[in-house]
Amino acid sequence: MSEKKKGIREISPIDVYKLLPRTNCGECGVPNCMAFATKVVNGEAVAGGCPPIHDSQYKDSFIKLQELLAPPVKAITIGSDRKITVGGKHVLQRHEFTYQYPPPIAIDVSDDMDAAAINARVHKIAGFSYGYIGRTLTLDAIAVRSVTGDVDRFKAAVKVVVESSDLPLILCTHDPGVMKAGLDVAGNRHPLIYAATSKNWRAMADLAVSHGCPLVASAPGDLSLLRSLVKTLQACGITDIVLDPGTFGDEGLAGTVFSFTAIRKAACRDGDSLFGLPILGTPISVWTGQELSDEVNRWQEVYTASILMTRYADLLIMHSLDGWAVLPQLIWRFGLYTDPRKPVSVEPGLRIFGNPGPDAPVFITSNYALTFFTVESDIKAAKIDCYLIVTETGGLSVEAAVAGRYLNAEKIGDALRNSGVQEKVTHRYLILPGLAARLSGETEEASGWQILVGPRDSSGIGKMIREHWPPQEGN
Ligand code: SF4
């Protein structure tokens, strides 16, 4: 009987260390192989990040390492120049191990649209972008759907998309003849083929093999058929398979969540290799249900997408492109796939706003990303020329950092000295966040700077500077 493969949480740094070159050369950016092994088991580095391991003398070790670290849900790449990775999951629950590979969101275009409409929609998809606590959130792929069933129209639609954008593609039709026409145009872009079913699997498998493209196995509402289809496709030599167990809106949503969860449990808990594959969610399918208004369809699509992203979709196809429909998905995905062990932080150091002179105010704050971007936004809104010292607080907010002593008088003194701001201003006043007011006395002693207590909420910074800067002697 074969030994059950270790889960990622059961792999120790020693397991990884034993398979590394163990020369402690430091080429991976950390001082020694054990430190690198620790990063690998924590999901902070990949085994291939050790340059020497690619030497032929370590070939067998590298293969063993990849087998040891392989996730129970296979990672599959879609796209050529621009790529997305789907799957690659190690665990069922986020608290077990940080989720990796956030599910890409593809937006559809269809071949019943004229070229100008396709072009405009593609540009809207590609240009969608939203700045969120220092990150740029974007859409990831385009799903080209054949709705006419016409070979030439599909080919023309795919051509317009290919010429308009380098985003990864999903080609959608159950007709192998139509799919072939799309692949003739976009096959070199390594698109995902949607989909092989119980009726067309042989022809779709041939197309996937001849073009070297990943393939969706689709069996809506029938998990045993889905297993059988995957087994058949694997026997045809196809390894890059994405599962489509069907997405049903409204009253079918509970069953959809059950199917997605059963698949992921089978992969992560039971080591079921037939279900150890990425899952495709198609919230877009709500648009093909009963006749409802567009607004109701959008609402259904929005909550279906959010639920499936939580349980356990690795890739989503949506139709709605309105900001209110798409943005919640992007922000939810950001939250879900952020390492819960590490608060989102920014680099500590001195930030300069506007053209501050020698009498410009000096503020200090924590390096928690949400705090920093809020303070930054409030300073910019108030049009203040100033300096802001961002202190290393382990990514904690000001209040939490003060309570946990991650922000204290000594740290503030060090941050002041290391920032070099004392060479830039002639005064010695530091504006402390209101939430750190209780550090005022000890900070004055530790730093030699006079402390002014700022507002508890950075939205009050503008008013404070207007009314109390420059400070009057004795204040
Ligand atoms: S690059 Fe590889 S061999 Fe060198 S220290 Fe890092 S893990 Fe060890």
**Residue pair 465/398 in contact by the 8 Å Cβ criterion:** no
In DSSP terms, which residues pair with 430 in a beta bridge?
451
Rounded Cα distance between 158 and 152, Å, is 10
Rounded Cα distance between 99 and 48, Å, is 20
Q: What is the per-residue pLDDT across 112-143, written as a single tens digit (0 to 9) for each?
A: 999 999 999 999 999 999 988 878 999 999 99
Residue listed under structure tokens 């139509």: 178
Please report the DSSP string for 227-263 in residue order: HHHHHHHHHTT---EEEE-----GGGHHHHHHHHHHH
Residue 323 confidence (pLDDT)? 94
Residue 1 confidence (pLDDT)? 43
Residue 473 confidence (pLDDT)? 66
Rounded Cα distance between 182 and 173, Å, is 9
For ligand 1, which residues put their CB under 6 angstroms from it?
Answer: 20-21, 23-28, 32-33, 36, 50-53
Q: How far is the CA of 24 from the centre of ligand 1 (A)?
A: 5
Order across the sheet with 362-366: list the strands.
Answer: 349-353, 386-391, 362-366, 429-432, 450-453
Q: Is 213 annotated as a binding residue?
A: no
In DSSP terms, which residues pair with 449 in a beta bridge?
none
Nearest CA to ligand 1 atom 4: 25
Nearest CA to ligand 1 atom 2: 50
Q: How far is the CA of 87 from the centre of ligand 1 (A)?
A: 28
Q: What is the per-residue pLDDT across 252-276, written as a single tens digit (0 to 9) for each?
A: 999 999 999 999 999 999 999 999 9
Q: What is the per-residue pLDDT across 349-402, written as a single tens digit (0 to 9) for each?
A: 999 999 999 999 999 999 999 899 999 999 999 999 999 999 999 999 999 999
Residue 322 exposure: Cα atoms within 13 Å on the Cβ side = 10
**Residue pair 207/193 in contact by the 8 Å Cβ criterion:** yes
Low-confidence ranges of the chain (pLDDT < 50): 1-2
pTM of the predicted structure, to 2 decimals: 0.85
Q: Is 458 annotated as a binding residue?
A: yes
All domains in the chain, ordered by first residue: 13-69 (1.10.15.40), 73-337 (3.20.20.20), 349-468 (3.40.50.11600)
Q: Work out which ligand 1 atom sits closest to the CA atom of 36.
A: 7
Residue 44 confidence (pLDDT)? 86
Residue 474 confidence (pLDDT)? 54
Rounded Cα distance between 195 and 213, Å, is 12
Q: Is 268 annotated as a binding residue?
A: no
Residue 2 confidence (pLDDT)? 47
Residue 3 confidence (pLDDT)? 55
**Residue pair 7/91 in contact by the 8 Å Cβ criterion:** yes
The residue count for the chain? 475
